Chain A
Amino acid sequence: MIQKIETYTFPRGIHPREGKEFSEKQSIEILPVPAELRLPLSQHIGAPAKLCVAMNDTLEYGQRVAEAGGFVSAPVYASLPGKVKRINFVTMPNGRRVESVVLTVNPDGFDTQTLFDRMLHLKEYKLADFSPEEILKKISNAGLVGQGGAAFPTHVKFTRNAEKPVDTLLLNGCECEPYLTADHRLMLEMPDTVVAGARFAAKAVGAKKVKICIEANKPDALEKMAEAVERWEKSKEADEAEIEVARMKTKYPQGGEKQLIYAALGRKVPLGKLPMDVGAAVMNVGTSVSTAMAVLYDQPLTHRVVTVTGAGIARPSNLFVPIGTPISVLIEHCGGLQNAQRVLMGGPMMGFAVGSLEIPVTKGTSGITILTKEEVSKAKETHCIRCGRCVSACPMHLIPNRLMFSARAKNWDVFKEHYPLACIECGCCAFSCPAKIPIVQLIRVGKMELARQKNAK
Chain B
Amino acid sequence: MGNFEVTSSPHLSRDHRSTSLMMFQVVLALFPTIIMSVAVFHAYAVFQLAICVLTCCASEWIFETFHKKYWTLSDNSAIVTGLILGLSLPWNAPWYVAVTASIVGIGIGKTAYGGLGYNIFNPAMVGRAFAMISFATVMGGAAYQYHGDELSGIVTQATPMTMYKSEIKVDVETTGVTSLDLLKKGFVSVHNGSLGEASGIAILLGGIYLICRKNGGWRTTLGMLATVFIMGMLTSPNENALYFGLFYLTNGAVLFGAFFIATDPVTNPITPMGRWYFGIGVGFLTMIFRLFSGYPEGVMFAVLLMNALTPLLNQVTIPKPFGYQKA
Contact = CB atoms under 8 A, between A and B. Distances in A.
Interface of A: 16-17, 178, 258, 262, 268-271, 273, 328, 340-344, 346, 348-357, 369, 371, 375-379, 382-389, 391-392, 395-399, 401-402, 417-419, 422, 427, 430-436, 438, 440-441, 444
Contacts of A346: 9
Given A271-B324, A376-B5, A388-B270, A349 B217 contact: no
B9 A386 contact: no
Mostly, the A contact residues are loop
A391 B271 contact: yes
Interface stretch (B36-44, B113-121, B298-306): B113-121
Interface stretch (B95-103, B181-189, B315-323): B315-323
B13 A431 contact: yes
Interface residues of B, number: 46
B185 to A, nearest CB: 35
B4 A343 contact: yes
Contact of B321 (A386, A422, A438): A422
Contacts of A432: 14, 17
A436 B214 CA distance: 17
Contacts of B18: 379, 382, 434-436
A385 B11 contact: no
A377 B12 contact: yes
B54 interface: no
B7 A353 contact: yes
A383 B22 CA distance: 13
B171 interface: no
Contact of A353 (B2, B9, B15, B270): B9
Contacts of A258: 322-323
B120 to A, nearest CB: 11
A418 B6 contact: no
A402 B270 contact: yes
Interface of B: 1-2, 4-15, 17-19, 21-22, 72, 75, 77, 114-118, 214-215, 217, 265-266, 268, 270-272, 275, 314, 318-325
A353 B115 CA distance: 34
Contacts of A399: 270-271, 314, 318-319
B1 A357 contact: yes
A115 to B, nearest CB: 30
B2 A355 contact: yes
Contact of B22 (A356, A369, A434): A434
B321 A396 contact: yes
Greatest chain B CB density within 10 A among A395, A417, A419 is at: A419
B19 A427 contact: no
Contacts of B5: 341-342, 353, 376
A271 B321 contact: yes
Contacts of A273: 323
A395 B321 CA distance: 9
A387 to B, nearest CB: 4
B321 A379 contact: no
8 smallest CB-CB distances across A and B, nearest first, come from A383-B117, A427-B10, A422-B321, A377-B13, A441-B8, A348-B11, A387-B265, A270-B325
